[in-house]
Amino acid sequence: MTTEGVVHIVDDDPAVRNSLRFLLKTSGYDAATYASGPELLSQAEELRAGCILTDVRMPEMNGLELVRQLKAQGVSHPVIVMTGHADVPLAVEAMRAGVVDFIEKPFDDEALLTSIRSALAQNAATAGEDAEVGEIRSRLEQLTVRERQVLEGLVAGQANKAIAYDLEISPRTVEVYRANVMTKMKARSLSELVRMRLLVGKP
C-alpha cells in the first residue's frame, strides 16, 4: 500500500465508486468513498491527507460547487474531476476554481492513475513551478496567431465546430491547428493543454 495519501472518491453511482476503489486498491493506493459532496464535506475537518477524485455532474452538489465549498472550509487537497464530453465547459470552470486536472470519460485506467500520481505528488513538491510556467510561456510564443485563437477556444470549452464558426474556417482546419497546438505545447491530452494555459494566467 502506498504511503502517499488517500484518494477520496466522490460519486453518486455506487458501481462507479466500487469500481474506482477496486482499481486504486489493486494499484497500491488507499481509497475512501463518498456518495455525495455533502458527505465528504461533513468529514472535511478530519479528512486524511491525499487527493480528491470527484464526478463533475452529481444531483445533490456538482463537482464545481464541491470545489468551492472545500476552499471555503480550508481544505487544500488537490482535486481531480471526472467529466463526460458534454461537461467539459463545467470542468474547465472547475479548473479555473482550482482543480488540478480533469479526466474525460471514458478514460483508461493508466490515464487516471497518472493524474492521481501527479495530484498526490503536488502535496509534496511545488518547487519548480516557476520554471514550468516559464517553459510554457516559451512554448506559447511559438504559436501562430491562429493557433492561439484555437487554443483559447479549447480552453473556453468550445467544440471544434464552434471554434470553426467563430473563426470562419472549416472544422477540419481547426483539427489541423489543434494538432499543431498540441505538438508545439507538448501536451499529451486536452486536460494537460488546458492546465498549461491556465497555469500561465492572462496571455
Same domain, 107 and 183: no
Same domain, 57 and 141: no
pLDDT confidence band for 202 (50 / 70 / 90): low
Is pTM beyond 0.75? Reply is no
pLDDT confidence band for 128 (50 / 70 / 90): low
Same domain, 10 and 89: yes
Does residue 2 register a pLDDT over 70? Answer: no
Residue 78's domain spans which residues?
6-124
Cα–Cα distance, 168 to 12 (Å, whole number): 41
Same domain, 120 and 102: yes
For 62-73, what is the mean pLDDT?
A: 89
The more confident residue out of 164 and 64 is: 164
Same domain, 16 and 84: yes
Q: The domain spanning residue 163 has which CATH number?
A: 1.10.10.10
Whole-number percent of the chain with pLDDT over 90: 50
In terms of Cα–Cα distance, which of 108, 135, 115, 97 is closest to 52? 115
Contact between residue 188 and residue 108 where contact means Cβ atoms under 8 Å apart: no
pLDDT confidence band for 203 (50 / 70 / 90): low
Q: The domain spanning residue 97 has which CATH number?
A: 3.40.50.2300
Same domain, 77 and 61: yes
**Residue whose C-alpha cell reads 480550508 in the numeric block:** 74
The more confident residue out of 201 and 117 is: 117
Does residue 201 register a pLDDT over 80? Answer: no
Contact between residue 80 and residue 55 where contact means Cβ atoms under 8 Å apart: no
Task: List C-alpha distances in Å: 194 to 178, 181, 185.
Answer: 12, 11, 11
C-alpha cell at 152: 483559447
